[in-house]
Structure 1
Amino acid sequence: MGRGAAPAVDLDAYFRRIGYDGPREPTLDTLRAVAFRHPDAIPFENLDVLLGRGISIVPGDVDAKLIGAGRGGYCYEQNGLLKRVLQALGFQVEGLMARVLWMAPEGAPPRPRSHQVLGIVIDGETWLADAGFGGCVLTTPLRLFSDEVQDSPHGKFRIVDTQTNGVAERQVQADLSGRWAPLYQVSQGAWAEVDYEQANFYTYTHPSSHFTWSMTVGRTTPTARYALKNNRFTHRDVTGAVVEQRDLSVDELEATLREVIGLPVEADWRPVLEKVVAWGTPA
């Protein structure tokens, strides 16, 4: 993995945003601290897609939205920002790509690679970091090439060998109440920043992308995971057990986005939230 030049990011502003005031050396402890705080402070959300605004992954636009405006975003925004932060700290980091398996029916055909994740090399070992996977986001880096069960502040994970059409991949799985649920399969080989442009455009425009016809929101705090799929609200504890799950009215959805997720809800979101409630929870 190469370091490569990265567009400047205001580290002071980013660290204020995630509430971090610790060391800035490129160590595993620093990586763990940032990975823990990022998904608490910067939620996963696709509101701009539903608002018809499109998603820019130009660094300045991402920083203005996720840092300056107090908004969240999806994987290309979240992990694009995290990558530049880690590079600015001196980490050896590259962008990777994964095919999502989360909630896919058993036996379903392979999905295209559509999810950006990060690989960080520390003392010769590659760690997987991911700040952009909704309600099951990682809150600690994982050893990408270890088959052992790995603990995190929000449950256990493991990464195992698998193949898609004869191509080796690493499958990330989460322990959901004793059942290993696949999240995604990570492909080897770095992606250049320009490679993500086409995938991002597909994600926010193509009718087969669920981000164009459903709302997905997530936030992970030190004591909980919160997720919204349209108007279905799910609150899990750190073990993954469901604490609460219910469908929200428009007023409740707006309040939850503001008070639980921590988003600066805007007046022009209301028609979209009404549409989301009318859609109901996808099967």
Structure 2
Amino acid sequence: MSAIVSLSDRQMACVDLAAYLKRIGLSGALPPTQETLRSIISHHMASIPFEAIDVLLGRDISLDPRAVDDKMLHRQRGGYCFEHTSLLQRVLQALGFSVETHLARVWVGHMPEGPAPAATHASLKVVVGDALWLVDVGFGSFMPNEPLAWQPDLPQQHAYGDYRLRKTMSGFMVESYHDHAWQALYEILDFPWEPIDYQVANHYVSRYPDSHFRSRLMVAVTTPEARYTLASNRLKIARVEGGIEEHRLTVEEMIDILGGRFGLNVESCWIPVLERIVASAQAQEEAASS
């Protein structure tokens, strides 16, 4: 079984479950069942945002479990894939689930016939009885807020779209149905990984100069009613029953939405970054219209 950091199985299972369940607003008995797994994923994605604001601030992203838990459980922050995966893996293990982590190549924004992108994403494979499930709470607004059955070539209908896993030479391609065609999201590399592999991927994503996390604000939560995505200064609300709203935000409105809908503890040092983002977006719009 792969792990995010070099810890024993006992240490990996160490997580403040009470703090986690309070953070996601879930209580009661939680046996390691499919129903529990669905409930945890839904509450997690509605309560703990996908965000990489620390990367924009030039901060290091630590995958040490204590740092992840302090940030996401006690400082009212979100995180990106490696942080979400670390937290949820330990929560599920503490509840009695069998869990593996896998790295993946993100194909969004890449041509299928082009060179393979680096493995810069992490997701979970969870065993429930005799069934395998793909669990991914750290891919922004692309994935459903429930598990996907780990069954190749099986179209699966979810509230936010249709998905499937397709077998590849290296593992499984996760695809969503969009614009009347299956679109590749990422390819799970289905073989064992060492802890250092996750550390290297995390460093690359957070420190590589051309990483989109270093130049673009991305925040997302998915509730049972709607997906909320903030990309740069544009807020998109996609509702389950249909209909999409898009809003161009000012700095003040971004602060309000980050602290309100996304539930983040907004720091004063974020404001210069938000001002830069809004100014850049306005400059691009003016250039496009001239």
The question of a shared fold, defined as TM-score above 0.5 by the shorter chain, is answered with: yes
Give the SS at the match of 1:135: coil
Whether 1:161 aligns to 2:167 is yes
Question: What's the offset of the Cα at 1:109?
Answer: 2.4
Whether 1:72 aligns to 2:104 is no
**What letter matches 2:81 in structure 1?**
C
Paired positions, count: 278
Question: What's the offset of the Cα at 1:179?
Answer: 4.0
Aligned to 2:96: 90
Question: What's the offset of the Cα at 1:178?
Answer: 4.2
Give the SS at the match of 1:252: helix
Q: Distance in 2 between matches of 1:271 and 1:137?
A: 31
Q: Distance in 2 between matches of 1:143 and 1:115?
A: 19
For residues 58-102 of structure 1, the C-alpha deviation after alignment (integer angstroms, 9 at most, x for no partner) is: 000100110111110000000110000011111110111111112
Moved more, 218-227 or 186-195: 186-195
Selected match of 2:145 from 108, 128, 139: 139
1:222-261 equivalences in 2 (<5 Å): 222-238=224-240, 243-261=244-262
The runs of 4+ residues in structure 1 deviating greater than 6 Å are none
Aligned to 2:184: 182
Aligned to 1:62: 68
**What letter matches 2:138 in structure 1?**
G
Q: Distance in 1 between matches of 2:181 and 2:262?
A: 27
For residues 216-254 of structure 1, the C-alpha deviation after alignment (integer angstroms, 9 at most, x for no partner) is: 111111100111111122111126x55112322212222
Selected match of 1:214 from 212, 216, 221: 216
Identity %: 40
**What letter matches 2:144 in structure 1?**
L
Question: What's the offset of the Cα at 1:280?
Answer: 2.2
Give the SS at the match of 2:191: strand
Q: Distance in 2 between matches of 1:122 and 1:209?
A: 35
Give the SS at the match of 1:12: helix
* Contact preservation (8 Å) 1:95, 1:192: no
Q: Distance in 2 between matches of 1:224 and 1:149?
A: 22
Give the SS at the match of 1:171: strand
Q: TM-score, normalised by structure 2?
A: 0.89
Question: What's the offset of the Cα at 1:181?
Answer: 2.6
CA gap of 1:201–1:256, structure 2 versus 1, over 3 A, is same
